[in-house]
Structure 1
Amino acid sequence: MMVVEPSLVQNLYTSHHRWLYELLRRRLSNAFDAADLAHDTFIRVLKRPQEFQGEVHERSYLATIARGLCIDHWRRRQLEQAWLQALSERPQAMHPSPEQRAIIVETLHEVDAMLQRLPQRVSDAFILAQLHGMPYKAIGLEIGVSERMVKKYLAQALMHCAMLEAELDGLLIE
């Protein structure tokens, strides 16, 4: 990992934090989320330092990182809202504890991120099989591939799920 000169990041932060925060606050309509994402943007800058050719390039770089973080933020919110909606339809006695909720939401985010890394057809096949319970032949017709390809897609998706499970087990054990 490349070591970043602290003064370079400090100068970038001092020069652009307020601008970035205001940009995010307008985009998110929430000061707390804007502050969090501005902070996360500068953390990413620390992890992937750049050479800049002036203020325009600096702001463009920061805005690009922030845009990606906003998209992730909105996806996470949408996923959480869908889960909370599904949870609200269950009897109160069947609701998980706050700790279980946090684990479930984090696992949903990890699965969503895993699905985003897969090719579109693989992801579609997995969702149709796992969430909608469709048979392979129907999935093939839906996404325009043979039943044999559906089997390959599902094997690929399940391999990614197994890798994700191993990663999560490693995080939970340590």
Structure 2
Amino acid sequence: MSARSTQSRFDVFYRDNHAWLQRWLRKKVNCPDNAADLAHDAFVRILAMRTQRALEESRALLVTVAKGLVVDQYRRRTLEQAYLDVLARMPEHEQPSEEARLIVRETLIEVDRMLDGLCANARRAFLLSQVDGLGYAEIAAELGLSVSAVQKYMVRAMQAYYRVTYAAGLPASDAG
């Protein structure tokens, strides 16, 4: 199918489904502006797929993509709120600057995306190491894996983590 034909089919797909998706999202997120943004993002993702399948599965795929966006947004907001709660408990003289807050907030979102992109074992190993402070042998026992498997998962996770923190310009040496 030609690019022009695919674009034409996408235009029809968009016209036929945009208002419906926005109404559906408005019920989920209870905010018309937020629903409009999420609907836009869902269509952008489907357009980026550039496959006939994306247009053939229409609403089922739209709902799947939109649900993922809603979950991502909820998780991101929960993470941001946790960060704001920590800031609220800090003494005023220890409060970071607005610029530092923004960098940390954006980095937290990127780390969350990074974790979401890892396989379950790599994500769990990373969290057990960095959050719970477990060593590799303890992680291996917890996950029912060999220590060498944990090491491989941690290498993947740490590489992803360092990419995120390096891109944000933060010191990444605290992990590991």
TM-score under structure 2 length normalisation: 0.78
% same residue: 38
How much does 1:37 deviate? 0.2
1:104 corresponds to: 104
Q: Report the Cα offset of residue 45 of structure 1.
A: 2.7
CA contact (8 A) 2:103 2:168 kept: no
Backbone CA RMSD of aligned residues: 2.5
Tell me how far apart the structure 2 counterparts of residues 155 and 7 of structure 1 sit (CA, whole Å): 45
- The 1:49–1:151 alpha-carbon spacing in structure 2 relative to 1, beyond 3 Å, is closer
1:16–1:97 distance in 2 versus 1, CA, 3 Å: same
Give the Cα–Cα distance (whole angstroms) in 2 for the partners of residues 60 and 79 of structure 1: 29
Residue number in structure 1 paired with 2:71: 71
Provide the residue aligned with 1:145 in structure 2: 145
User: What are the Cα deviations for residues 87-141 of structure 1, in whole angstroms up to 9, with x where unaligned?
Assistant: 2222222222222222212111111111122222221121121122223333233
Distance 1:119 1:46 in 2: 26
Q: Distance in 2 between matches of 1:156 and 1:58?
A: 35
Deviations along 1:62-93, one digit per CA (max 9) or x if unpaired, are 22221221121122112212222222222222
Any residues of structure 2 matched to 1:162-173 within 5 Å, and which?
Answer: 162-168=162-168
Residue 127 (str. 1) matches residue 131 (str. 2): no
Distance in 2 of aligned mates of 1:156 and 1:45: 29
Partner of 2:12: 11
1:32 matches 2:39: no
Structure 1's unaligned 5+ residue stretches are: 170-174
Q: How many residues align?
A: 165
2:49 maps to what in 1?
A: 48
